[in-house]
Structure formats: structure tokens, C-alpha cells
Amino acid sequence: VTPAAPVGLSLRDTVRAADAGSAEALLHATGFFREEEVAIGRELIDETVARGAATGYSFLFADRADGSLAGYACYGPVPLTESSWDLYWIAVDPAEQGRGIGRWLLEECERRIAAAGGDQVWVDTSGRDQYAPTRGFYQSAGYTVAARLADFYAPGDAKVMFVRRLVPDGRIPREG
């Protein structure tokens, strides 16, 4: 069952050329992504517009009634694994963080991953203090820290790898 949408938002999984600019602006506005990361986030959309599903990237966009973007997520199967999937990006407009949009997008990604036969969702994040709310977000959604790679991104900036195991039939038990 698709989780209920936050008021005023609708979910879209088709990628449009205009999403590249909207996503770039949104990633930039969060203040969480370096310029190179923003550029890569944009490129993934441009590439998906050009090549379609062959890229291996799937997107979920949370659209406002006026068509503007409140948040989005990008995910896909991890190449050369049997059933591991990566959540590559998730971002919510800072003006609307904390009202359940991120959780809604994440749960819908998980539902679709499970329906496609995925049984683990992996997500990398940073160990920096700025990312404490992000880590709290994943933890509250049932993710656990699988590994912490010290100094991975830069001296003092660890990579923290979270994982959530999904049950095979697509039902995703969650406490609370």
C-alpha cells in the first residue's frame, strides 16, 4: 500500500527535462551538497531523460499542486549484486523539511524496491555533525549503521553506510 501523501503533494515517477534544473536548485538550497555533488545530481536526471530506464536510476518526485518540486529521491539496483539496492539521493526543500515528505518518499522507494525483488536498501551518508539530522532520519526509518569508514570523504569526514533489510514479499514491518 502506498503511504498517504502529505497534504498538497503528489508523487510522480516519470522524469522530465525540467526536473534537472528544479532538482539542482533544491539540492543547492538544502546547503548539504557540495557543488560537484549538485552537478552529479543534475547529470543523473539529464542522463535519465536522454537514455531512459537503461541508466538504472529510478526517481520519485514530490510535486506541489503548482508543479514545483518539494522533494525527490533517486534509487536503483546495485550492479553485480543479487538484490541490494542503493538510495542515491534524497532531498526535501528546506522550507518543508520535518513535515513527513522525506519519510513518505523513502517508504515509497522501499515499497518499489521490495516489489522489484530488492531485499536490502543501502544508503551512504557523512559522519559530519551537519549530517546528524540526516542520520537521525535514517535511524528513525529503521536503518542501522552497517559500516563507518573513517576519513573516507576527507580527513575527519567518515562515510557512514546505513542498511535496511526488507522482507521478501514486500511487506515492510516498521515500529511506531
Binding status of residue 134 toward ligand COA by CB under 6 A: yes
Q: Whole-number minimum distance, CB 140 to ligand COA, in Å?
A: 3
Q: Whole-number minimum distance, CB 137 to ligand COA, in Å?
A: 4
Locate the DSSP E strands across 17-136.
58-64, 69-77, 84-92, 120-126
x/- mask, ligand COA, residues 59-98, rule CB under 6 A, reads -------------------------------xxx----xx
Closest CA to 87 of 116, 124, 34: 124
Which lies closer to ligand COA via its Cβ, residue 168 or residue 176?
176
Position of cell 545530481? Answer: 41
Which lies closer to ligand COA via its Cβ, residue 60 or residue 101?
101
Neighbours of 123 (CB within 10 A): 23
Neighbours of 58 (CB within 10 A): 20
Q: Whole-number minimum distance, CB 63 to ligand COA, in Å?
A: 15
Residues binding ligand COA: number (CB under 6 A): 18
Query: How many angstroms separate the CA atoms of 75 and 46, rounded?
Result: 15
Chain residues 103-122 in contact with ligand COA, contact rule CB under 6 A: 103
CB nearest ligand COA: which residue?
102
Cα 55 → chain centroid: 16
Q: How far is CA 2 from CA 30, 45, 91, 101, 142, in A?
A: 26, 24, 19, 13, 18
Q: Which of 21, 136, 148, 171 binds ligand COA (CB under 6 A)?
A: 136
Binding status of residue 22 toward ligand COA by CB under 6 A: no
Would you tell me which residues interact with ligand COA (CB under 6 A)? Answer: 30, 32, 90-92, 97-103, 125, 133-134, 136-137, 140
